[in-house]
Amino acid sequence: MFLRKLALAGVFALMGTTAMAACAFENTVPLKSLSAGFEAWKSATTAMAECGNFTAELDQEFAAKQAAAFAANPSLYQIGGVANETIVPLINGGLIRPLDDLVAKYGQNLQPNQLIKVDGKIMAIAMMVNTQHLMYREDVLTELGLAVPTTWDEVLTAAEAIKASGKVETPLGATMKAGWNLAQEFVNMYFGAGNPLVGADGTPSVNNENGVRTLEMMKALTAYMDPEYLTSDSTFVQQQFQQGKIAMANLWASRGGAMDDPAESQVVGKVNGAAAPMMTAGGSPATTLWWDGIVIAANITDAEAEAAFRVALEGIDTEMVSANNDDAIWLIPGYKPGRLAGGAIATATANPPPPSYPSTTTQGLMQSALGNQLQAFFTGEKSAADTLAAVEADYIAAAKEAGVLK
């Protein structure tokens, strides 16, 4: 099964200066990576560091830096962590190199569904799959006699009951930080109705009944959230769960393992997962499917590229997975789905299934337009219709400038 990403507020660096026994070779080429900072990337880059001469920069804002850093000549980083969306500007800019030759030489243990191909060339190696799905406090729902919600309307009903009970501080959490996160929540729900945001010809399709319905549902949910929800990202929601402050959230699967970390969590064994809620009963889960993986910069020497690829593979091997099984839903041999992987698996195997997040320039431009404009609706500055009109205008201007819309 192949699905088409942050526990740090700033930047966290892992450095290795001498090779450790766990690495199959001693790296002598200075290497740096730039990626997201959630648990899976911590685990992968820690394993890479065992090869020596390696620095990992784990940064929640990595995507904003990556293109410029890889455009430098030589590139400021040799290894990049990417996902469906963040790989697009790197490909469009010619900033990452095809990996076919390196896979042929060193990738014998890679699985076919790890090889991300663009125009027939291997451009990335996927290490894990990810999706946003429902996580919930099983003890709270059980005590209140509530069934696990399957639609967003049912989430609202359950949230009202939880609020009335006073069992938790805030019934719901959500990754609705203004910008990319808020846009992604909209994308999830909009796609849940089975509608594309951008047509095949690049024309936007968001200022419509489905767009208004999506905004209205998102707004209704905020009545059960922390009042500062427009600053809430996945790290904040993870911490809300761990501290026992919320009962439900549509959270990234990559955050699941942290719920059972006794060093951080007060709710060990109490959080469970289910498929992402549907917008309409009988529809697909209102979410998108993602992968995360590695790329190698184009603006580096062949020797650096070879060393970078070998080090990267050391970070996503079976040994790493065995030591960090529950940090992700790995695409790597040896992975054994844990208790908290069930929600993501239920989401991905639903009938009908949710779509993969589109790895296209037009979707990236639409995501940016949504991120730029949606906040005005939630702050009361604009109506739903006016907000969506502003989204389309923002997208059209950017798409024309990019040459994908006439």
pLDDT in tens, 63-75: 989 999 999 999 9
pLDDT tens-digit series, residues 227-279: 999 999 999 999 999 999 999 999 999 999 899 999 999 999 999 999 999 99
Residue 195 pLDDT: 86
Does residue 29 surpass a pLDDT of 90?
yes
Residue 22 pLDDT: 78
Q: To the nearest whole percent, how much of the chain has pLDDT over 90?
A: 90
Q: To the nearest whole percent, how much of the chain has pLDDT over 70?
A: 95
Q: What is the dihedral sign for C-alpha 305, 307, 312, 318? A: positive
Instruction: Return mean pLDDT, the chain.
Output: 92
**What mean pLDDT do residues 107-111 have?**
95
Which has more pLDDT, 230 or 193? Answer: 230
CA–CA separation, 371 and 363 (whole Å): 12
- What band does 183 get if pLDDT is binned at 50, 70 and 90? very high
For 140, 215, 339, the CA distances from 260, given in Å and listed in that order, are 16, 33, 10
**What mean pLDDT do residues 22-34 have?**
95
Does residue 2 surpass a pLDDT of 50?
no
Closest CA to 148 of 165, 133, 167, 164: 133
CA–CA separation, 162 and 146 (whole Å): 9
DSSP of 32-81? EEEE--SHHHHHHHHHHHTTSSEEEEEETTHHHHHHHHHHSSS-S-SEEE
**What mean pLDDT do residues 165-190 have?**
97
Checking DSSP bridges between strand 271-274 and strand 121-137, what pairing results, if any?
A: antiparallel
Return the HEC string of 295-343.
EEECCCCHHHHHHHHHHHHHHCCHHHHHHCHHHCEECCCCCCCCHHHHH
Domains of the chain: 11-130+289-337 (3.40.190.10), 131-288+344-348 (3.40.190.10)
Using alpha carbons only, how large is the chain's radius of gyration in Å?
21
Residue 61 pLDDT: 85
